[in-house]
Amino acid sequence: MPTVITHAVVGLTAVKVLVPPPVRPRIWLAGILAAVLADLDSFGLYLGIPYGHPLGHRGLSHSLLFGLLLGMLLAAILLHGRPRQEQLRLGLVFSLAAMLHGTLDALTNGGLGVALFAPFDNGRIFFSVTPIEVSPIGLSGPALRRLVTVIGSEALWVWLPCGLLMLVSVLVRRLRRERGQT
* Residues near Zn ion (CB under 5 A): 1, 39, 105
Residue closer to Zn ion by CB (options 1, 64) is: 1
> CB of 109: closest distance to Zn ion in angstroms?
14
> CB of 24: closest distance to Zn ion in angstroms?
27
> CB of 135: closest distance to Zn ion in angstroms?
9
Cα(104)–Cα(136) distance, integer angstroms? 15
Residue closer to Zn ion by CB (options 76, 112) is: 112
Q: Is 32 exposed, middle or buried (0-12, 13-18, 19+ CB in 10 A)?
A: buried
Residue nearest to Zn ion (CB): 1
Residue closer to Zn ion by CB (options 105, 154) is: 105
For residue 7, what are the contacts with CB-CB under 8 A and spacing of at least 6? 1, 35, 36, 38, 39, 101, 104
Residue closer to Zn ion by CB (options 41, 78) is: 41
- Asked whether the bond before 21 is cis by omega within 30 degrees of 0, the reply is no
Question: Please, are residues 118 and 59 in contact by the beta-carbon 8 Å criterion?
Answer: yes
Half-sphere exposure of residue 110: CA atoms within 13 angstroms, side-chain side? 10
Cα(150)–Cα(131) distance, integer angstroms? 11
What distance, in Å, lies between the first and last C-alpha atoms of the chain? Answer: 47
> CB of 1: closest distance to Zn ion in angstroms?
4
> CB of 58: closest distance to Zn ion in angstroms?
6
- Asked whether the bond before 54 is cis by omega within 30 degrees of 0, the reply is no
Residue closer to Zn ion by CB (options 7, 16) is: 7
